A and B are shown apart, each in its own frame.
Chain A
Amino acid sequence: MRQSNRESAGHVARRASIENSLLAAVPRKEYRRLLAGLEPVTLTFGEVLYEPGETIRHVYFPGASLVSLLTLVDGHLGLEVGLIGREGMVGIPLVLGHNVSSVRALVQGSGTAMRMASARFRKEFRLSLPLQQELYRYTHTLMAQISQTAACNRFHVVEARLARWLLMTHDRVKSDQFRMTHEFLGHMLGVRRVGVTKAAQALQKRKLISYSRGDIIVLDHRGLEAAACQCYEVVKDMHDGAQAGYAMRKMRISAAA
């Protein structure tokens, strides 16, 4: 009974895990070993995976889910500094030899993920050179994203940043309609609620979105692209580039085998 449960969990895991590009890039033999320590989970919008200063219990490899990294100041003001989807892993401090998160990790898009307990992850990470290489490279991509976000926040107006943020979400949730409160968006964009209201109204007036009581409907994706800052393209290229990179290295590995 116990055995068959494990097997069926393993089966589900095998299918779900292909969604994450980092896991997909690890050679098959090593991946099989990783799989025994991976657990498929469903992450729901608003769930907090880490708080700043807390010990990290699990790392997460998102599949269809999307996780936002937030830095908080003055007790209530926040700012999104990174966004992790199927191209990445939540829990990078463990890769860098540290077990405490310095940011809040908040689920921004519900969906599947694979998770692994921290102790197990440390062990697997030490054992697998390909996993190390993929994760170091990914960490560097994430740093590029944090830098880029910092610059975007500095120079671009709220309306353009809101448009970019809605596009990034729209690309991932694969639905034209999603729920976002003003407060949530304020945290993401690092502005007060009234700033979010103004920007959302401006986009609504241009018939790019419809916004009412936290329900957002994207009406014109192309139009939103024109309204967004260039950073939308930059981050999209970064993510697409990372995914293409994994695929290429994977091809090289299988060709060499």
Chain B
Amino acid sequence: MLAPHTPKQNHLLAALPAADYERLLSHLELVPLELGWALYESGSQQGYVYFPTASIVSLLYVMHDGSSAEIAIVGNEGVVGIALFMGGETTPSRAVVQSAGYAFRLKGSLLKGEFERGGPLQYLLLRYTQALITQMAQTAVCNRHHTVEQQLCRWLLLSLDRLPSSELTMTQELIANMLGVRREGVTEAAGKLQAAGLIHYSRGKITVLDRPKLEARVCECYAVVKRESDRLLSRKTAIVDQLS
């Protein structure tokens, strides 16, 4: 059913001019991302960066007492491992697979070298970083002011935009951890959405049935993040061509 895996399923990699893409290609390694697997722990050194193709990775900030809150999600629009090229020695967040799937990974040292060339890849990575900052800031304010149901809708829509299918492989427990609320809160919110025929939830799989209705229920935070991502990343091919 699924097309064979290719790095072009990641939008950042797909936007690279042919010459830059070819140079990276032999170094890109396909890895399966299992549900709940931690790509990085907070405070650790990063050996690889990951370009998700059909998976969702959640970035979580971990407090001293061990509790954590999601600050952003990354899927096929982006890359996990910003710290590597931004020059931060370690990452302050934990990166956990929230919807199982695949990613292509690249050695950190290689990416750093590519970034320092200052070409199209650098340009794309920086613009992606700006989109990520917007997502982080909006997630913070959304967590503060909006209901669990609204947050769940935002999370589902952002995830859908970052996946090739309308099905998420995940658990309610993971959602609860991520939204920083109790499991019952998520069960209740997901139950409401299911009763209204918007989603179908069963055995660790969430399928979105009615996207327009989900969009009608979500808070403005979804649109803010989407608009910024679209503006920064959708015309990237044209911009990169201009650059090269």
Interface residues in chain A, defined as those with a beta carbon under 8 Å from any beta carbon in chain B: 69, 71-74, 77-79, 81-82, 92-93, 95-98, 100, 102-103, 133, 136-137, 139-144, 146-151, 153-155, 190, 230, 234
Contacts and interface: CB of A to CB of B under 8 A. Distances in A.
Interface stretch (B18-26, B121-129, B195-203, B208-216): B121-129
Contacts, number: 125
Contacts of B69: 150-151, 154-155
Given A140-B87, A151-B71, A155-B69, A73 B63 contact: no
B138 A71 contact: yes
B53 interface: no
Given A140-B88, A143-B82, A143-B136, A150 B143 contact: yes
Contacts of B145: 73-74, 77, 79, 190
Contact of B86 (A136, A151, A155, A234): A136
B133 A92 contact: yes
B130 to A, nearest CB: 4
B136 A151 contact: no
B31 interface: no
B87 A79 contact: no
A204 to B, nearest CB: 24
A17 to B, nearest CB: 23
Secondary structure call for the B interface? helix
28 contacts: A71-B137, A71-B138, A71-B140, A73-B219, A74-B220, A77-B141, A79-B140, A81-B140, A93-B130, A95-B126, A97-B123, A102-B130, A102-B133, A102-B134, A140-B82, A140-B83, A140-B87, A143-B82, A144-B92, A146-B140, A147-B59, A149-B140, A150-B69, A154-B144, A155-B69, A155-B180, A190-B145, A234-B64
Contacts of B68: 151
Contacts of B142: 73
Interface in B160-209: 180
A155 B67 contact: yes
B61 to A, nearest CB: 4
Given A137-B88, A148-B92, A155-B63, A103 B220 contact: no
B14 interface: no
A79 B61 contact: no
Interface of B: 59, 61-64, 67-69, 71, 82-83, 85-88, 92-93, 123, 126-127, 129-130, 132-134, 136-146, 180, 219-221, 224, 228, 231-232
Given A73-B142, A102-B134, A96 B87 contact: no
A78 B141 CA distance: 7
A97 B136 contact: no
A143 B133 contact: yes
B185 to A, nearest CB: 13
A146 B133 contact: yes
B49 to A, nearest CB: 14
A98 to B, nearest CB: 5
B137 A190 contact: no
A159 B167 CA distance: 41
Contacts of B85: 136
Nearest to B124: A97
Given A74-B145, A98-B127, A147 B88 contact: no
Nearest to A134: B87
The residue among A71, A79, A143 with the most chain B CB atoms within 10 A of its own CB is A143
A95 B137 CA distance: 17
